[in-house]
Amino acid sequence: MTELLLNKQIYDSVIQTEIPQAEKFVWIATADIKDLHVERGGKGKYQPFLQLLADLLQDGVEIRLVHAKEPGPRFRADFDRFPELVESELFERVLCVRMHAKIIIVDGKVAYTGSANLTGAGVGAKSPLRRNFEAGILTRDPKMVGELMEFFDEHWIGTFCDKCGRRDVCPDPIV
């Protein structure tokens, strides 16, 4: 099954439904990454998305995050509040200045790809008057999920690093 997600549907389906149900892993690729809040624990109660990731880590879920630029100061301040993100061997993060794909894969069973970055205005709980106009697809098609996983993994393991034309500006080359 593959479905089109528009605007807040991305938040509802991917951030509120799929990611919290992860049992094994969550892989996230994004160009931009900012402080992002999500509703949890009842209507009107919001917490940093990083809290959700920290909770998943405590449940034994592996998380990979690749992003293209350094997060802003609010994200970094929230990041520092969750020691699991620094101490857990289940959390890995890679900075790749060429990453522009937006992909979220949960347990190798479901994948999102589209325009939305990991920001409040992209996939977060922003009001309809403040969020970006976004479009993407959510798929459970094993072939499509597999292809997105292969694409993600090639970048994760550094397949392109050795011959990358942006190596001179890469803060942390994989190889």
Residue ranges covered by each domain of the chain: 2-169
Calculate the alpha carbon distances from 151 to 64, 86, 144, 148 in Å: 14, 26, 11, 5
Q: What superfamily in CATH does domain 2-169 come from?
A: Endonuclease Chain A (3.30.870.10)
Confidence bin at 156 (pLDDT 50/70/90): confident
Question: What pLDDT, in 10s, does the model give residues 52-74?
Answer: 999 999 999 999 999 988 888 88
- Mean residue pLDDT across the chain: 90
Q: What is the mean pLDDT of residues 15-19?
A: 96
Question: What pLDDT, in 10s, does the model give residues 34-47?
Answer: 888 888 877 778 89
* Residue 119, pLDDT score: 87
* Residue 124, pLDDT score: 82
Q: What is the mean pLDDT of residues 140-155?
A: 95
Of 61, 65, 62, which is closest to residue 36 (Cα–Cα)? 65
